[in-house]
C-alpha cells in the first residue's frame, strides 16, 4: 500500500531510436518507493524539442500529487503563458499518461477502470503495410509490392489495414495519377477480398477540394472503410465539402491539438470519424472530452497512433472505455527488439487487442535495454514531396 499523500519528485525522458522513428518515454518519479509512472511523448522530427519541453515543464510538477490530474493539466497549460502548440501539447500528453499510470498503480486498478470502465470486451485494431516499417508505409506505389505487403498483413491475422498511396499533389489532378490510384485500390481489394477493411490515408496531399474528390471517385467502387485527411487540417469548411460529396466515410483530426481545435468540426458536422492522437492532443482526459463531443455530433472515434508502445497502451485504455470508438491504429512489434525494451498490455488475438487487468497502464520499461538504442535523427521522408517542376508540396 502507498501513503495517502504522494508527491512528484522528478520528471525525466528516455529516448529510444526505433530505426525509423524515435520514441520519447516520459518517466514521472514519486516519493513512494517503487511508484513511478510511464508515458509517451513521441513526435516525429521534433525529438529534441519535445524533451526540452518536458524539462521546461518539470518545475510546475515538483511537489504535486500525481493523482490530481485535472489540476496538473490546468497548471501545465495555463502557467506556460504562451499556448503550447503541438510540441508542448505532446510533452503534456506524455506526462499525463504517466500520471494515469501512477494513479492506477496506487489503487491497484487498470487505467480503463478509472476513466469510465469497460464498454467493450475487445478492441479492434488495424496496422499498415510492412507492419510498421515506415518505408513500406510511405513508399509503396507499385501495385505488385502493394499486393504482397497487404497479404503479409492479412496473414498476420489483421482484418483491416491502412495504405498511403495518394500521389504528391497540387491543385489539379492529371488523368494518369487518377488512374494509378484506381489501379492500386483495385489491386488491393482483389488481393485481400471483401472481408478486410481498407483505409486510405491521403496525408493532406491534395491542395484543393476538387483534387481530393477526384481521387476519392477512383476509390469508391472498392468500398474503402474511410478516406483519411483528404485535405490539410484547419479548414473545416473544405473538409465539410469533401464529406458531403465523397460517397464514403471521411476521417481526420490527427494533427489537431486539444478540444478547441476539434470543436468547429463538431459544430459543422464536417466529417464522419475523428482521429485524435492521445500522444499529441493533450492526453487521455482531453481525448475523452473530444470523444464525448464527437458522439453528440454523430461521429465515431478512430484514434491515430503510429507512435511507440506506451502511446499504444494509453490508446488501449481509452478505447476500452469509449462508447463511440470504431477502430485503433497500431504498430506493435515495429522493430525486432520491441519486446526486449518494453512489455506492454496489448495482447492481440486476430485483429483485436484484449482487455488487460494489470494496474496502471500495464507497461514495464527495461531501461538497460532501452539504452542500447539511443537517439538518432529520423529519416526525412518529407524531402521527397516535390513535384517534377520543383514545387514543394504537402507530404
Per the CB < 8 A criterion, the answer to whether 345 and 311 are in contact is no
CA–CA distance, 21 with 27 (Å, rounded to integer): 19
- Helix H or strand E encompassing 270: none
SS3 of 67, please?
A: coil
Cα–Cα separations (whole angstroms), residue 339 to 295, 342, 350, 369: 36, 5, 19, 10
Q: Hey, what's the cell of 377?
A: 535523427
For residue 350, what pLDDT is reported? 94
Residues found in the chain: 395
Give the distance, in angstroms, between the CA of residue 81 and the centroid of all CA atoms in the same chain.
Answer: 27
Single residue among 85, 110, 135 that ends a domain in this structure: 110
Domain boundary among 75, 110, 145: 110
- Count CA atoms within 13 Å of residue 298 on its CB side: 6
Domain for residue 392, yes or no? no
**pLDDT for 334:** 79
The CATH number assigned to the domain holding 158 equals: 3.20.20.120
pLDDT at 116: 96
Residue 189 lies in a domain: yes
- Specify the number of domains making up the chain: 2
Provide the pLDDT for residue 312: 95
Domain that holds residue 73: 8-110
What is residue 395's predicted lDDT score, i.e. its pLDDT?
A: 87
Domain's final residue, options 77, 110, 143: 110
If DSSP codes are grouped into helix, strand and coil, which group holds residue 115? coil
Q: How far apart are CA 317 and CA 339, in angstroms?
A: 20
Q: Which one from 128, 304, 317, 373 is the annotated catalytic residue?
A: 304
C-alpha to C-alpha distance for 70 and 27, rounded to whole angstroms = 19
Of 233, 239, 161, residue with least CA distance to 193:
161
pLDDT at 200 (0 to 100): 96
pLDDT at 136: 57
State residue 61's pLDDT score.
97
18 in any annotated domain: yes
Q: Which of 120, 38, 58 is nearest to 355 (CA)?
A: 120
Same domain membership, residue 244 and residue 102? no
3 within domain boundaries: no
Smallest Cα–Cα separation from 155: which of 350, 388, 298?
350
Kindly state the cell numbers that stand for 362.
500495464
Whether residue 118 lies inside any domain: the answer is yes
Task: Tell me, yes or no, whether 145 and 236 share the same domain.
Answer: yes
Q: What is the rounded distance in angstroms from the CA atom of residue 352 to the CA atom of residue 122?
A: 6
Per-residue confidence (pLDDT) for residue 17, from 0 to 100: 95
Residue 40: beta bridge partners? Answer: 25
333 vs 361: CA distance, rounded Å:
18
In the chain the first and final C-alpha atoms are separated, in Å, by: 50
- The verdict on 24 and 173 lying in the same domain is no
Query: Has residue 386 been placed in a domain?
Result: no
- pLDDT at position 60, please? 96
> To which residue does cell 485500390 refer?
185
The answer to whether residue 281 sits within a structural domain is yes
Are 247 and 103 within one domain? no
- Are residues 129 and 103 both part of a single domain? no
> Which residue positions in the chain have pLDDT lower than 70?
1-2, 132-140
Distance CA 263, CA 388 (A): 38
For residue 68, what are the contacts with CB-CB under 8 A and spacing of at least 6? Answer: none
Query: Residue 4 has which C-alpha cell?
Result: 495517502
Burial of 292 (C-beta count, 10 Å sphere; 0-12/13-18/19+): middle
Sheet holding 8-17: strands in order across? 8-17, 22-30, 36-40
Please choose, from the candidates 123, 120, 58, the residue with its C-alpha nearest in 3D space to the C-alpha of residue 313. Answer: 123
Supply the pLDDT for residue 90: 98
Q: Model pTM? A: 0.95
Model confidence over 225-273: pLDDT tens digits?
999 999 999 899 999 999 999 999 999 999 999 999 999 999 999 999 9
Q: Are residues 172 and 284 in the same domain?
A: yes
Residues in contact with 388: Cβ distance below 8 Å, sequence separation at least 6, in sequence order? none
* pLDDT at residue number 296: 97
105 and 118 assigned to the same domain: no
191 and 103 belong to one structural domain: no
Any catalytic annotation for residue 79?
no
- Looking at the fold, whether 88 and 137 belong to one and the same domain comes out as no
128 is catalytic: no
Q: Which of 203, 280, 317, 373 is catalytic?
A: 203
Q: Is residue 221 part of a domain?
A: yes
Q: How far is CA 346 from CA 311, 315, 362, in A?
A: 11, 10, 9
Write the DSSP assignment of 190-254 as a string of letters: HHH-TTSEEEEE-TT--SSHHHHHHHHHHHGGG--SEEE--S-TT-HHHHHHHHHHHSS-EEE-T
Q: Are residues 119 and 80 in the same domain?
A: no
Residues 176 and 99 in one domain: no
| Residues 28 and 123 placed together within one structural domain of the fold | no
Amino acid at each position: 500500500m502507498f501513503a495517502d499523500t504522494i508527491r512528484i519528485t522528478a520528471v525525466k525522458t528516455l529516448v529510444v531510436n526505433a530505426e525509423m522513428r524515435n520514441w520519447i518515454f516520459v518517466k514521472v518519479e514519486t516519493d513512494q518507493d517503487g511508484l513511478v509512472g510511464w508515458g509517451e511523448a513521441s513526435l516525429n522530427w521534433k525529438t529534441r524539442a519535445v524533451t526540452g519541453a518536458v524539462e521546461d515543464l518539470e518545475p510546475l510538477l515538483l511537489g504535486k500529487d500525481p493523482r490530481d490530474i485535472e489540476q496538473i493539466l490546468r497548471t501545465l497549460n495555463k502557467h506556460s503563458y504562451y499556448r503550447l502548440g503541438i510540441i508542448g501539447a505532446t510533452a503534456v500528453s506524455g506526462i499525463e499518461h504517466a500520471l494515469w499510470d501512477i494513479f492506477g498503480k496506487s489503487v491497484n486498478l487498470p487505467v480503463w477502470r478509472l476513466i469510465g470502465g469497460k464498454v467493450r470486451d475487445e478492441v479492434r485494431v488495424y496496422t499498415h503495410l510492412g507492419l510498421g516499417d515506415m518505408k513500406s508505409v510511405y513508399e509503396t506505389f507499385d501495385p505488385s509490392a502493394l499486393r504482397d505487403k497487404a497479404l503479409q498483413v492479412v496473414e498476420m491475422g489483421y482484418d483491416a489495414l491502412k495504405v498511403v498511396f495518394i500521389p504528391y499533389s497540387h491543385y489539379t489532378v492529371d488523368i494518369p495519377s487518377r488512374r494509378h490510384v484506381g489501379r492500386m485500390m483495385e489491386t488491393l481489394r482483389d488481393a485481400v477480398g471483401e472481408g478486410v477493411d481498407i483505409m486510405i490515408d491521403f496525408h493532406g496531399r491534395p491542395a484543393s477540394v476538387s483534387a481530393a474528390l477526384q481521387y476519392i471517385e477512383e476509390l469508391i467502387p472498392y468500398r474503402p472503410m474511410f478516406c483519411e485527411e483528404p485535405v490539410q487540417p484547419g479548414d473545416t469548411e473544405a473538409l465539410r465539402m469533401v464529406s458531403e460529396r465523397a460517397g464514403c466515410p471521411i476521417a481526420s483530426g490527427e494533427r489537431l491539438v486539444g478540444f478547441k481545435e476539434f470543436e468547429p468540426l463538431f459544430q459543422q458536422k464536417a466529417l464522419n470519424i475523428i482521429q485524435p492522437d492521445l500522444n499529441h492532443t493533450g492526453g487521455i482526459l482531453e481525448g475523452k472530452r473530444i470523444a464525448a463531443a464527437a458522439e453528440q455530433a454523430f461521429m465515431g472515434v478512430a484514434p491515430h497512433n503510429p507512435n511507440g508502445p506506451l502511446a499504444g497502451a494509453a490508446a488501449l485504455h481509452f478505447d476500452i472505455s469509449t462508447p463511440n470508438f470504431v477502430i485503433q491504429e497500431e504498430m506493435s512489434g515495429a522493430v525486432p527488439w520491441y519486446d526486449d525494451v518494453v512489455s506492454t498490455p496489448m495482447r492481440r488475438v486476430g485483429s483485436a487487442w484484449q482487455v488487460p487487468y494489470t494496474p496502471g497502464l500495464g507497461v514495464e520499461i527495461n531501461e538497460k535495454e532501452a539504452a542500447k538504442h539511443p537517439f538518432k535523427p529520423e529519416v526525412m521522408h518529407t524531402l521527397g514531396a516535390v513535384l517534377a517542376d520543383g514545387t514543394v508540396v504537402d507530404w
